[in-house]
Amino acid sequence: MNTKVIVCDLDGTLAPSKSALEPSMAHIICQVLKKHRFAIISGGSHEQFIKQFLSHLVCEDRYLANLYLFPTNGSACYVFDYEHNLGWKKLYDEQLTVDERKKIKDAFGRAIPASGVVTEEPFGEIVEDRGGQITFSGRGQEAPLDVKSVWDPDQTKRRKIVDLLKLEIPEFEIRMGGATSIDVTHPGITKAYAIGKIKEVLGVSTEDIVFIGDALYSGGNDESAKETGVECVAVSGPTETEKVLAIYI
Ligand SMILES: [Mg+2]
């Protein structure tokens, strides 16, 4: 096994936002898993990982043992237990408490109407409880990409909601991500946090990790990965990621 650990963002890096992994990407990932340990970080939930990623990945169990999933920015971790033939299992899950979740959802319930931002006719839930994270999606969780991309391209709408939330629940981390979303978590739950968890769980150091992400730019939701000192590779999307991953086959 090669010592280099490949760490990838999911949305916009391995797969288009909230969309399924392409067969060509699934094939490359399986090839990489034969030689490297591979960790995936996403702001999304574990359920989203299954829907978007795992259900499209075809790879032998012995190689899946090299795959580590970190939903909700590393506040949970899932590993594949090949040795004991147990399949996927949860290694840990740092949930928000019931009271914290209620407080955040209530704050959204007041901030959204107060902001004047219109969220009518959503595609699915607007405020989703992901356990370790509460996520607002301006057009709903299931909105198609073309609908999402025109909703708040300059972040004006979300900034109004974020400003109101910051007054109500300053004890939480409130961040814009994706095209229409606002994520609320415990403070400090970022890609950098996930990378810290990867080091712990895999027992590796900064030099062993290469991180690949589509939002390493200033204000992007991968930017914090750079603070950790790991090697970072910026990509424009899955097509470019495939080229980068081919190096590790
Ligand atoms: Mg991304």
Cα–ligand 1 centroid distance for 86 (angstroms): 30
**pLDDT tens sequence across 34-74:** 999 999 999 888 988 999 999 999 999 999 999 999 998 99
* Residue 120: pLDDT over 80: no
Model pLDDT, residue 26: 97
Neighbours of 99 (CB within 10 A): 8
**pLDDT tens sequence across 190-234:** 899 999 999 999 999 999 999 999 999 887 889 999 999 999 999
Which pTM does this prediction carry?
A: 0.83
Cα–ligand 1 centroid distance for 222 (angstroms): 7
Edge to edge, the sheet with strand 134-137 lists 127-129, 134-137, 181-185, 173-177
Cα–ligand 1 centroid distance for 27 (angstroms): 20
Q: Are 189 and 132 in contact (CB under 8 A)?
A: yes
Burial of 143 (0-12, 13-18, 19+ CB in 10 A): buried
Which amino acid appears at position 182 of this protein? I
Cα–ligand 1 centroid distance for 162 (angstroms): 20
Report the Cα 80 to chain-centroid distance in Å. Answer: 19
Q: Which CATH architecture has domain 98-185?
A: 2-Layer Sandwich (3.30)
* Residue 76: pLDDT over 90: yes
Cα–ligand 1 centroid distance for 85 (angstroms): 32
Model pLDDT, residue 1: 61
Q: Are 37 and 8 in contact (CB under 8 A)?
A: no
Secondary-structure class of domain 5-94+189-246 per CATH: alpha beta
Mean pLDDT calculated for residue range 131-147:
91
Neighbours of ion ligand 1 (CB under 5 A): 9, 11-12, 214-215
Domain residue limits, the chain? 5-94+189-246, 98-185
* Residue 106: pLDDT over 90: yes
